[in-house]
Structure 1
Amino acid sequence: MQRRRFLSLSAAGAATAAMVPALSACGSGGPGGGKKTLRLVAAEYGDGKPENSSKKYWDSVARTFMGDHKGVKVEVEVYSWTEVDKKVADMVAQGNAPDVAQIGAYADFAAAGKLYSADQLLSISTQADFIASIARAGEVHRTQYGLPFVSSTRLLFCNETLFRKAGIIKKPESWAEVQTAATKLKAAGVKIPFGLPLGPEEAPAETMLWMLGGGGGYTDKNGSYTIRSQQNVRTFEWLRDELVGKELTGPGNPARTNRQDLFDAFCKGQVGMLHGHPSLMQQAEAADIKYEMIPLPGIDGKAKSTMGVADWVMAFKTAPRKEVGLFLDFLYGTQTVLDFTGKYDLLPVTTSASRQMRKDDSKRSKKLRPFLDPLPQAEFYPADKTSWAKVSKTIKEKIGGVVQKGADVAGILDEIQREADSTDGVAR
């Protein structure tokens, strides 16, 4: 069964789009009378089963919208996360851009001048409804081009059965307490006391979670890369010496360990603790794993912020602006948002939908609230930087080296920093 990709890190295929010259208008957006056709390309969030396909959601949205807007037709194409970003980039390169795309990254297209800005499309009420921290992540040079679609934050998952077996009563709030708990789990025979996935699947996410816990991050408030900061060096020296060096991350090499491998192991009762997102809840419950989710531990106590991840909607300038604006205002209606987030255990990106989720007393909504509460203060990937796709790739290739025995942490981070600055056009 093909597993869905949970909230994309970057659009690898989209990087080529910025080099494509400006395109002429495609057929759907041209002038003239008659019914306007909007072509939407979206990502698949389902698990491969027809009843769980995102196509069903988008077809329902399109039918409802067309019922209220007789002069507009909406055609939907849905592709897997492994191909959708490249599909859109190829369409743009061929002069056949979709009118609306729901994919992983927007910055390359925005930098190339191919996208409408949010204020050119949306009503004032829709723009104001976006959660501010997520809307800011959609800005390039203080103008919003990326419209957040769904979001997620991360928490620390703890296996309750293994914690009891190890005699751990208090859940960890600091890194020192993480180490103490992991030591007890190891002594109790737990195969992987702390799961550390620094392999290529989602290394940038795990990296950012530890950076935030140590008071650092990928960029400063001005948007400049700070990968080599003293805070980040201190963070990964601690990981190298106090977690990996003490053999508290299991028998595998973290540099080659992917997140889904650890999720699978968690659901087999082999992992004591790991960072997780909401989809792990479903997997753990299906495997009858008893777990607790807690805020991320930090270097001196609870981390001051968690990582937020968002996927994006964008509209190309070749599209008919009025009709696209009407469709997007409809798409961001409270119930329309909740229909999708509820289907896939994701978080809404609008204040109204978030408020409604908090009022919902269903078991699933209650379980999502710990992820929802830190969302307004969450830190996001620097998705507004056209360099991020390449920097993310470099991190996937090199960050695992920092936790190897005897690793030159400062040297490896400095190498990644130099490549990031070079990609970003910064002289050092």
Structure 2
Amino acid sequence: MTRPAAHPESDVSAAVGIVGVFGLFGWIAICRNWASVADALAIPGPRAPLSGPYAAVAALLFAALPMIVWSLAVDKVHRRPSTGIDWSLRRPLRQTLGDSITKLAGYWATWAGIAAFYCLGRWYWDGQFLFAMHVIATFAVPMLILSAPYVLWLDRKLVEPRDAAWHFGAFLTGQAGWTSPKIVAHWRAWAIKGFFSAFMISILPPGFAQVVNADFAAIVADPVRLAQILIETLFLIDVQIGTVGYLLTFRPLDAHIRSGNPLLAGWLAALVCYPPLVWGIMGRPDVLGYQAATADWSQWLAGSAPLLWGWAALLVFLTGVYAWATFAFGLRFSNLTYRGVITNGPYRFTRHPAYLSKNLFWWFSTLPFLVTNGSLVDVARNTAMLSVISAIYFWRAKTEEAHLLGEDVKYRAYHAWMSQNGAITRPLTAWTTRWRGRGMALQPAE
């Protein structure tokens, strides 16, 4: 009897994301009880909950610090070969100074290019993105200044200091040795970081304010309102931990971007799900809108308290899986990147728990096949459009798999293990195999 292959070890321990969530909740507790905290510490100022946008940004620090400490002190990720760092190296500064200056030229030019993109994109200077631009502008100068000592220090320890940033810097400064694939890889990674970091920062304040100001005691007996605030809290976890992941792409944390998705289909499938493209495609009722004449789930179930409680629990559970799928990454969450392989948490049951739970949430919360106007046309249109959106996420999942399968033998082992052992993936794989087999059987013989 053949024994099943061992479950591949995850590059991120489960504890990293958990301590980040605890740190986040610690800051939320301080913000909710700021009046008492300020009185106890004799801090001047208003005695009200800290629910402003900059308190939401400060939450990133409280989530990140425990994850950094755990990663370094317990998991000792800085000693892994995948960092590309050899701490035993004692190169003199004069030996690496030239490469470091070249690399800094590459970084600074890259950041200037991202800043130019922000300036050209009109959507960055209105609505939710305006706050993100203020935050990024505030930290731009400190980042520019601190990048110099960081690069000068790290290059003395890197096994190969001439990384993708160096190649771009060498191209700019007219040095020999640069290669186009390295430059493309450099820009691919920073395009991902620049695009998604701005988006993530832009959505921090609303959810944070709602959770800090929520009166849980007043809604504990109301399944609808309780579900709404619990769902908002879980989305807050997703956004905060996810934003930390985009910002902390540092080699000493083994959280650097090892590669960006090289597939055009992968970029299209991902970017269509985010502003500004999502506003023109999924956000418009005449394109992929699926909520024409629909009502909230609570309205359809209003006559039954058990159904309301059961449906509320289901939606909270699905959102919980979605949040878990993000904080399971610890410091490494980001779209379109390879930053190691995650095999634990919800990724032990399915390769794409976030996409699965998010789409199920949309179907169960919207109920697109129920409409208030009795129109069968709207029923068909809503159901079809949400099916298209779910298909986009399936496409997105497949492009991500294609990227990772080409990058890491561990992911290939994980992919194969899930097909044989994943509680959700295994039956889906078996069904797909049978379906394909029947399709092959129907082909005429040659």
Q: Name the structure where strand makes up a greater proportion of residues.
A: 1
Larger Rg: 2
Q: Name the structure where helix makes up a greater proportion of residues.
A: 2
Give the number of the structure with larger relative contact order, counting CA–CA contacts within 8 Å between residues 6 or more apart. Answer: 1
**TM-score normalised by structure 2 residue count:** 0.28
**TM-score normalised by structure 1 residue count:** 0.29
